[in-house]
């Protein structure tokens, strides 16, 4: 017996005091997010409030924030510079922020949790949902859905391989494939690396990377080679540090692992510290399928969101 009812909080948000901002906490393979329900696009999501909300000691805690609003409303409110190509003004838009307050173009695990949250709150029906992101439209299909769990398959577009680049973690240097999955990645497949040796690497420290190649920073994935259709990966995310999973990084790694195995198309299961996600590459298009979990819901307190952060 549970009273966990996301539908109730979404309808409350529409009728109650506009300053009462509701949230859900969720994760995709333990890449965790605070889903901020801002259906009226009334929030000014400042760097300070994002850091307060994602703080794991004094806030709710999370690798990032997924703000739920319509693309057109965010644009009209000045929170989105332009509506990205392929996204309609009426589409739900995942306004993604990293834990350090920076904006990211895309978040693959985030799209899964976002689409699940739309269905769990009653803002969308299960099935295919149009999710707008700064990287463009990412249609997501939500199945096996309950208030607390779902399987979500996301069309991740056609990632672009940009070349080879080098990254280092405390003197451990790796050559990887630079892949644009809407956001920037270097995915290194390391010969003879095993899940055990990967676990000992200092992926938690900030990597050094080619700042000329990646002037806006980069997400870095280190992975074992492809064996029986599977790899094991760790990730250091721009704006969040080491996380338990990264959906766009998983896609970049699948592409790099297939290339390393001299394949273009194929299905790769990527094992990460937080679980398993499947990626299918067909003619350059990436489809990612994995779980979403919603674990809590509530109202943001005044210490996390100041009066100035909410438009009247
Ligand atoms: N965890 C996300 C990626 C989030 C954004 C990334 N840190 C960036 O700055 O590009 C994912 O699941 O893709």
What confidence tens digit (pLDDT) does each residue in 220-278 have?
999 999 999 999 999 999 999 999 999 999 999 999 999 999 999 999 999 999 999 99
CATH number at 271 reads 3.10.310.10
246 lines ligand 1 (CB under 6 A): yes
**Mean pLDDT score of the chain, rounded to an integer?**
95
> Residue 61 burial (CB < 10 Å; 0-12/13-18/19+)?
middle
153 lines ligand 1 (CB under 6 A): no
253 lines ligand 1 (CB under 6 A): no
> Residue 81 burial (CB < 10 Å; 0-12/13-18/19+)?
exposed
Specify if 44 maps to a domain: yes
pLDDT the model gives residue 19: 67
Give the ipTM of the model, two decimals please.
0.99
pLDDT the model gives residue 149: 98
Q: Give the pLDDT confidence of 131-182 residue by residue, as tens digits.
A: 999 999 999 999 999 999 999 999 999 999 999 999 999 999 999 999 999 9
In the reported structure, the alpha carbon of residue 185 is separated from the centroid of ligand 1 by a whole-number distance in angstroms of 9
Q: Is 264 annotated as a binding residue?
A: no
Residues 6+ apart with CB under 8 A from 296: 4, 24, 25
Tell me, yes or no, whether 145 and 177 share the same domain.
Answer: no
* For helices 6-15 and 108-121, angle between their N-to-C axes, nearest 10 degrees: 80
Specify if 288 maps to a domain: no
Percent of the chain, pLDDT > 70?
Answer: 96
Q: Considering only CA atoms, which of 21, 25, 64 is closest in space to residue 42?
A: 21
Tell me, yes or no, whether 133 and 267 share the same domain.
Answer: no
Q: Is 183 annotated as a binding residue?
A: yes
The answer to whether 100 and 146 have CB atoms below 8 angstroms apart is: no
How many domains does the chain fold into? 2
Specify if 91 maps to a domain: yes
The answer to whether 28 and 247 have CB atoms below 8 angstroms apart is: yes
Identify which has the larger pLDDT, 297 or 303: 297
Residues catalogued as catalytic: 107, 246
The answer to whether 288 and 108 have CB atoms below 8 angstroms apart is: yes
Specify if 1 maps to a domain: no
Tell me, yes or no, whether 21 and 84 share the same domain.
Answer: yes
Query: Domain limits at 180?
Result: 160-283
Q: Give the pLDDT confidence of 1-45 residue by residue, as tens digits.
A: 468 899 987 765 544 555 689 999 999 999 999 999 999 999 999
Tell me, yes or no, whether 242 and 263 share the same domain.
Answer: yes
Q: Are strands 275-282 and 285-299 parallel, antiparallel or unpaired?
A: antiparallel
pLDDT the model gives residue 241: 98
Of 61-75, 100-114, 291-305, which gets the smallest average pLDDT? 291-305
Tell me, yes or no, whether 151 and 197 share the same domain.
Answer: no
pLDDT the model gives residue 11: 62
Mean per-residue pLDDT for 71-100? 97
Query: Considering only CA atoms, which residue is closest to atom 4 of ligand 1?
Result: 107
pTM above 0.90, yes or no: yes
Q: Considering only CA atoms, which of 150, 154, 134 is closest in space to residue 26?
A: 150
255 lines ligand 1 (CB under 6 A): no
The answer to whether 150 and 119 have CB atoms below 8 angstroms apart is: yes
Tell me, yes or no, whether 133 and 206 share the same domain.
Answer: no
User: 249 vs 89, 141, 182, CA distance in Å?
Assistant: 28, 20, 11
User: 157 vs 151, 171, 190, 284, CA distance in Å?
Assistant: 19, 34, 26, 8
Tell me, yes or no, whether 26 and 144 share the same domain.
Answer: yes
Tell me, yes or no, whether 153 and 164 share the same domain.
Answer: no
Specify if 191 maps to a domain: yes
In the reported structure, the alpha carbon of residue 179 is separated from the centroid of ligand 1 by a whole-number distance in angstroms of 13
Tell me, yes or no, whether 31 and 136 share the same domain.
Answer: yes
Mean per-residue pLDDT for 118-126? 97
Tell me, yes or no, whether 102 and 174 share the same domain.
Answer: no
Specify if 181 maps to a domain: yes
Q: Which atom of ligand 1 is nearest to the CA of 105?
A: 10
Strand partners, 169: 172
HSE-CB for 57 with a 13 A CA cutoff: 0
Q: Which atom of ligand 1 is nearest to the CA of 111?
A: 12
pLDDT the model gives residue 14: 47
Tell me, yes or no, whether 149 and 174 share the same domain.
Answer: no
Tell me, yes or no, whether 135 and 207 share the same domain.
Answer: no
Specify if 63 maps to a domain: yes
Q: Has residue 121 got a pLDDT over 60?
A: yes
């Amino acid at each position: 017996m549970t009273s966990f009812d996301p539908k109730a909080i979404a309808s409350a948000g529409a009728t109650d005091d506009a300053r009462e901002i509701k949230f859900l906490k969720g994760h995709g393979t333990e890449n965790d997010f605070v889903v901020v329900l801002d259906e009226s696009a009334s929030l000014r999501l400042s760097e300070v409030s994002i850091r307060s909300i994602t703080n794991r000691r004094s806030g709710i805690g999370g690798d990032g924030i997924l703000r739920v609003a319509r693309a057109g409303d965010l644009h009209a409110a000045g929170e989105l510079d332009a509506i990205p190509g392929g996204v309609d003004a009426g589409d739900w838009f995942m306004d993604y922020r990293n834990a350090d307050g920076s904006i990211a173009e895309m978040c693959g695990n985030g799209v899964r949790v976002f689409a699940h949250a739309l269905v769990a709150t009653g803002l969308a029906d299960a099935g295919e949902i149009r999710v707008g992101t700064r990287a463009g439209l990412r249609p997501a299909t939500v199945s096996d859905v309950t208030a607390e769990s779902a399987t979500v398959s996301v069309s991740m577009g056609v990632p672009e391989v940009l070349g080879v680049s080098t990254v280092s973690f405390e003197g451990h240097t790796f050559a990887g494939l630079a892949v644009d999955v809407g956001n920037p990645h270097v995915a290194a497949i390391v010969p003879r690396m095993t899940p055990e040796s990967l676990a000992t690497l200092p992926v938690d420290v900030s990597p050094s990377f080619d700042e000329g190649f990646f002037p806006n920073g980069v997400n870095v994935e280190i992975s074992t080679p492809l064996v029986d259709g599977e790899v094991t990966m760790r990730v250091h995310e721009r704006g969040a540090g080491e996380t338990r999973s990264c959906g766009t990084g998983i896609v970049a790694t699948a592409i790099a692992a297939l290339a390393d195995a001299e394949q273009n198309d194929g299905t790769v299961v990527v094992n990460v510290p937080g679980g398993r996600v499947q990626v299918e590459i067909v003619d350059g298009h990436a489809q990612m399928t994995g779980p979403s979990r919603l674990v809590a819901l509530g109202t943001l307190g005044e210490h996390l969101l100041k009066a100035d952060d909410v438009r009247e």
